[in-house]
Structure 1
Amino acid sequence: MKIVRIAIVSESFLPSLNGVTTSVCRVLDRLADLGHEALVVCPGPAPETYRGFRVHTVRGVTLRQFRVGLPSWEIESALRAFRPDVVHAASPFGLGARGLAAARNLGIPTVAIYQTDMPSYLGQHAGPLRGRIESTSWRWIRHLHSLADITLAPSSATMDELAAHGIPRVALWSRGVDTELYDPARRSDPDVEALRACVAPNGETIIGYVGRLAPEKEVHRLQEVHDLPGTCLVIVGDGPTRDRLERLLPKAHFLGYRSGVPLAQAYAALDVFMHTGTRETFGQTLQEAMAAGLPVVAPAMGGPLDIVKPGVTGLLFDPAHPGALRQAVGGLVNDEAMRTRMGVSARGKVEQRGWARMVDQLLEFYADVVTPAHLRRVA
């Protein structure tokens, strides 16, 4: 069956910029290119349309700089009016849970995308109640994902975690990366050369991090490498822990939030990319750095286990072992030939992971919840 009408209920959308928003926009881009019809349901305020698709907003509140949609019965009305073939719940928790329930009430097939490790995120802000908050969150997640016909996890480690918590019907769907925006050729751009000269005037090896500056990202781990001889540290991003990190890493260059071409230029200016979070369901910035031709260093936990091939595209370190990050980065800093070899391999690994290919895989999941493969008519 050809899917032509998809309703995406998303916990986040423009103008908020984060991993969920990016994934939803890339899916919508591909749906538009292929001529499908789509509706977006998300927290307001948001643009009225995106790529010609209508955006239906619901009331929301702002919590810790995030816009959170309030579950509403109007979601069911919006779905009934649009009559989608399938409902796509993007990182469901509150708004998405209501969307899944509404779809079940209306008899519409559903696909849930698990993207954010909400139990860990909430637990980090719960103090002595962390254990109770995490267990309660998992009970809620188990309930809401039981409403979906299939849950798509971004990595094998996340699949295992979901299975361990009793989440049913889980399959693997990774994320795409823009291999045109993030390109090793940008390294010769005049703006990139100027940025390198600014942060590393004496030809230092530039090591860097890109991402949100928040407790769950564990950016404080960069203290291990901030004084590596012959290097300079660049941090791209913003968030609630920026002030504390600027005090912790006084020699680092904080470039602030970047997106689009300026972000691609920041990647291109680096020599080594570091990922610090140990609770990542995937690790999109690793893919972006690899597309830019960089060797990458990441914790040997969670999503990065699927992305980084140790000794080939980068290195994995044991986050429980003090000094492991410094040792891994130091080895790359001291061996330019290894950096070059790994950067070429990293680019090669992600060249076939463009968003168009990933969304085409998603369309197969859509089709399977509408009409299972063994029931489809063979042309």
Structure 2
Amino acid sequence: MYKIIAQVAHCLTTRSSARDFPIAIAHDYLTQRGGAERVVLALHKIFPEAPIYTTLYDPEATFPEFKEADVRTSPLNRISFLRRRHRIALPFLPLAATLFRVPAKLTIASSTGWAHGFNVSGEKVVYCHSPARWLYRSDQYMGDRAAGTLTARVLDLLKPALTRWDQWAATSDGHPYIANSTVVQERIRSVYGLEAPIIYPPHSVDTNAIRTSIPGIDWGSDEFFLVVSRLLPYKNVQHAIEAVRGTRHRLVVIGAGPMESQLRATAPENVRLTSNLDDAQMRWAYSHCSAVLAVPYEDFGITPLEGAAYGKPTLALRAGGFLDTIEPGVTGQFIDTPEPEAIRRAMDKFSPSDFEPTRIQQHARSFGLSRFERQLRELLDRFGEDF
């Protein structure tokens, strides 16, 4: 541990280059595949010449499209152990973010807790996926099983200092915030005292592109429910798996995370867990499922829209960002609690014939990239530059 701390201290003294860009994109860390990383890819499509600044980058753990981008990392990235276990880096990230210079006239920071504190040379706009969950919703983020663990105790010890840094990063220079959903807009108001307009994230599904079947999943079309999620406690994947135990329902879970080994060890025969799929395999999963199952406490939640692009409805928890994206009876149905019994009842009552695929697809198109780009550029016009 002392050796790692010494390495961190040495790395953080290294300065970045000083060239100014017209626009840059910033993100906390690119070490996983999630909705926030999808937003960064959308920003990259809109501004393909903009470099992407991030504290940690693991090309094999995140979306492969980032290999085609100009990704620039903080000195902290030299420590390979932290790239593989980014949660271990939490104590070091405030300092890394504060010292990490982004030389651009305008920086769009995609932030869940760190990128809003990057040291920018020009203007900054923060696209906020949520104020840091591990600070303001840590019990939900870590789950009941984490109570009393070393990680939980360290987080409790560091929380006052991390919270002070986070509040400073959010309010010190008056940069504008954008919320990704109604619930995040309210969190920004509550936590930071800031008013933020909403720009919903886009889905990026190309329904005409090739689809490739997933090894180990031989169920036919409309024969399974689909969960796409990181495997963290607040995502409630464990409850979705329990909901189908001993039933006729089939469930495919696509995702990776700290709970993966536990879920694999306890999953029943009618559940398939898989991860690290390419886009062609993801398209197959969405197009062949009977419905998407989404029961996390999600800030926005892009998976219902990705399923909707193929005309698939979603059974979603009545909470968070799903309140912005689900039209009950049209694009899906709500589940009132994430408990296995409630999830099972919703699955028992579900019938694909109750939904019209073309209406669901029409709904998905209203959340496309063109709408996201138009609204974003309208907001950026205030800076008086032609971006």
Q: Aligned residue for 2:5?
A: none
Report the TM-score, using the length of structure 2 for normalisation: 0.75
Q: Which of these residues, 107, 122, 125, is aligned with residue 87 of structure 1?
A: 107
Q: Which of 267, 270, 282 pairs up with 2:286?
A: 267
Residue number in structure 2 paired with 1:276: 295
Structure 2 Cα separation of the partners of residues 264 and 52 of structure 1: 21
Question: CA–CA distance in 2 between the matches of 1:263 and 1:238?
Answer: 14
Q: Which residue of 1 aligns with 2:44?
A: 28
Deviation at 1:367, TM superposition (A): 2.2
2:360 maps to which of 334, 337, 346 = 346
Q: Which amino acid aligns with 1:11?
A: D
Please identify, of 54-63 and 249-258, the stretch whose mean Cα deviation from structure 2 is larger: 54-63
Asked if residue 8 in structure 1 is aligned to residue 15 in structure 2, the reply is no
Question: What's the counterpart of residue 169 of structure 1?
Answer: 195
Q: Match of 1:346, as an amino acid?
A: I
Q: Which residue in the other structure is 1:150 paired with? A: 176
The verdict on how the C-alpha distance between 1:265 and 1:326 changes in structure 2, with shifts beyond 3 A counting, is same
CA distance in 2, matches of 1:264, 1:204: 14
Aligned residue among 323, 333, 336 for 1:305: 323
- Among the aligned pairs, what percent are the same residue? 20
**Alignment partners' CA distance in 1, 2:158 and 2:184:** 16
Q: How far 1:305 moved relative to its partner?
A: 0.6
* 1:92-131 equivalences in 2 (<5 Å): 93-94=113-114, 96-99=115-118, 102-103=119-120, 106=121, 108-116=122-130, 118-120=132-134, 122-123=138-139, 124-125=141-142, 127=147
Question: Structure 1, residues 31-84: CA drift from partner, whole Å, max 9, x if none?
Answer: 23xxxx42322235578x9698643321225277338666267633x51xxxx3
Per-residue displacement from partner, 1:212-259 (whole Å, max 9, x unpaired)? Answer: 122231111114431474421111122221222123322211233313
1:304, 1:143 → 2: CA distance?
30
Q: Secondary structure at the match of 2:44?
A: helix
Say if 1:154 and 1:174, in contact at 8 Å, map to a contact too.
Answer: yes
SS of 1:337's equivalent? helix
Alpha carbons 1:6, 1:87 under 8 Å: kept: yes
- 8 Å CA contact 1:112–1:148 kept in 2: the answer is no
> What residue in structure 2 maps to residue 43 of structure 1?
55
Q: CA deviation at 1:292?
A: 2.1
Secondary structure of 2:50's match? strand
CA RMSD, Structure 1 to Structure 2 (Å): 3.5
**Which consecutive unaligned segments of at least 5 residues does structure 2 have?**
1-20, 60-64
SS at match of 1:316: strand
Instruction: Quickly say closer, same or farther: Cα 1:45–1:51, change in 2 above 3 A.
Output: closer
1:272–1:329 Cα contact (<8 Å) kept: no
Partner of 1:214: 232
Note closer, same or farther for the CA distance 1:254–1:51 as it changes in structure 2 (3 Å cut).
closer
Distance change (3 Å), C-alpha of 1:45 and 1:228: closer
Q: How many residues align?
A: 339
Deviation at 1:115, TM superposition (A): 1.3
User: Which amino acid is the alignment partner of residue 113 of structure 2?
Assistant: F
Deviation, 1:359, is 2.3
In the alignment, the residues of structure 1 paired with residue 384 and residue 252 of structure 2 have an alpha-carbon distance, to the nearest angstrom, of: 49
Q: Give the letter for the 2:237 counterpart.
A: V
Q: Any stretches of 5+ residues in structure 1 without a counterpart? A: none
What is the one-letter code of the residue matched to 1:38?
A: A
Report the TM-score, using the length of structure 1 for normalisation: 0.77
The structure whose RCO (Cα within 8 Å, separation 6+) is larger is: 1
3-state SS, counterpart of residue 358 of structure 1 = helix
**Larger strand fraction of residues:** 1
Amino acid at match of 1:9: A
**Counterparts of 2:52 and 2:46, CA distance in 1:** 14
Deviates more, 1:224-233 or 1:207-216: 224-233
- After superposition, where does 1:287-366 map in structure 2 within 5 Å? 287-319=305-337, 323-332=341-350, 335-338=351-354, 340-341=355-356, 343-366=357-380
1:233 paired residue number: 251
Which piece of structure 1 moves more, 66-75 or 137-146?
A: 66-75
Tell me which amino acid in the other structure corresponds to 2:43. V
- Kindly indicate whether the alpha-carbon contact (under 8 Å) linking 2:112 and 2:132 is maintained by their aligned counterparts in 1: no
